[in-house]
Amino acid sequence: MHFRITVNQRQIAEILSKKRSAQITARGVSLPKSTQNMMARGAIWMVLFKLVERGLGLISTLILARLLSPADFGVVAMALSFIAMAELMSAFGFDIAIIQNQSATKAHYNSAWTCNFLLGLSITVLMLAVAVPIADFYGKPELTWVVLALAFGPLLTSAENIGVVAFRKELDFRREFKFQVSRKFVAFAVVVPLAFILRSYWALVVGILLSKLAGTVISYLMHPYRPRLAFSKVRELFVFSRWLLFNNLVSFFKERSADFFIGRLAGASSLGTYNIAYELANLPTTEISAPINRALLPGFAKMVAPSEITSAYTNAVGLLALIALPAAAGIFSVAPFLVPTLLGLKWLDAVPLMQILAFNGALLLFHSSMCSILIARGFPARVTFSNACYTAILLTLLAIFFFSWREIGVVGAAYAALLTSVLCTPIYIYQMRNCLELPASLFVKAIVRPLFAATILVGVVRWFLPAFEPTMSVFVTVAWLAAGCILGFFTYLLVISATWWLAGHPAGAEQVLMQRVRELLVQRFGKRFAADRR
């Protein structure tokens, strides 16, 4: 089971580290060649980890969706919402402080581990105390035992060996990859068999706890450092990390606000359906585009000339639009056949949710990219402000939809999320203009052709596909799904190519992508042709 993550602290650490490297280079001191090579290899290892992690998460989700009910997912999501909120209230990012401090000593490591452990212990005690009130809030007495069990998760995580932070600090991403992947494999190996045996939400609960325990044990097996209680560097760590706390809190409510409304007013089954729909709807836009973000972001931290920033921003937005918009359009078009194929007929209520949240995911991808660029350029406060505005609007719209139009049910939460993303997009674009002098016209020009092509994709595929009927056989459902995907792919490819050609082959994302594809083809088939001639 893969749950949504509000803040990727590892990515922030990488951005901050790369920004510091850029500042050193700007002052005339270049990084050693070996360091550059290590960073390049590290990026490859982290992209590989992301692919493995999401692959395991997707397989796990699809298996569990077949074995468990939407209500099972909803019960666990109810408990995790409050636990995640408590965890983020103490998420100071001490590991990032250690990575940033090149002269960190054992006292820093021990103080960070002590703070993490005491905060984890505090969260566990707090969750044990409020388990009954949480169950009363949702009106589900059985939730009490779930909260009591999951309350020990933060304590298990907080005891993790702080020494593994050295993997990232020393750019040893190969060992970091092994550490992270081993944890994911343990979680996968535990949760799936338990789901076959228990057939209830307890499979998720036990799997979460055992995976956290395994992660802590593995951390001590992989690194020889043994932390001790220490408080000498606590103040120094808090001074650096306090801004991360506020940003984490804002990001939490941005991601989890809908869970509280849905769980409280619509019940566990609706919440489980919403969470699965959210995850699958956002999967293509977030995971397919992740390598693009990871490849482009380091460049923004190193650039100095405004012309370089403008060109890179235009290409970045264009590349993301080329992928995110057709992915969202494709999910919207084939969702009636995609859901029963992947999840089964009991998840049909997720179809309208996936259709709405797919476009929301595309907008959130643009938001996150802009936020990452702002952080890389040294404007974290603007990111926090923008996310706070998003959260305030989302909470308002959720309240309006649930209390004024309750009859539309959980679909109202999806509409609230999409409308919030639409209304807040100008806020993020304004921050780019105000901080980096990038006009809004750059964003519009970068997305106009992909948006037009994605619209044509929706029209063609929806016209081609028949209305889904629950009486359809699995073979027929899969056949229509495959036909819709193939038709959508070639429709989009044809339209985007034609619009780019009619526009006069302008410089931009299409040109960058075409050039990259040409280079790959020449590299692959050119060598083979040369070898054949020899």
Sequence-ordered list of residues with C-beta below 8 angstroms from that of 135, at least 6 positions apart, any chain? 141, 142, 143, 144, 147
- 211-255 pLDDT, tens digit each: 888 888 888 887 787 888 877 776 766 665 566 667 667 777 777
- 68-118 pLDDT, tens digit each: 788 888 888 888 877 776 666 555 556 666 665 566 678 878 887 888 888
Contact present, 321 and 509 (Cβ < 8 Å): yes
CA proximity to 154, closest of 195, 118, 190? 118
- 258-276 pLDDT, tens digit each: 877 887 777 788 888 888 8
Q: How does DSSP classify residue 164?
A: G
Q: How far is CA 445 from CA 28, 286, 310, in A?
A: 36, 22, 13
pTM of the model: 0.67
* Position 301 pLDDT exceeds 60: no
C-alpha span between 442 and 317 (Å, rounded) = 9
Residue-range domain boundaries for the chain = 44-265, 279-534
- 336-370 pLDDT, tens digit each: 999 998 888 888 888 999 999 999 988 988 888 88
End-to-end CA distance of the chain: 53
Contact present, 458 and 333 (Cβ < 8 Å): yes
Maximum alpha-carbon separation in the chain: 77
Q: How does DSSP classify residue 347?
A: G
Contact present, 319 and 512 (Cβ < 8 Å): yes
Query: What is the average pLDDT score of the chain?
Result: 76
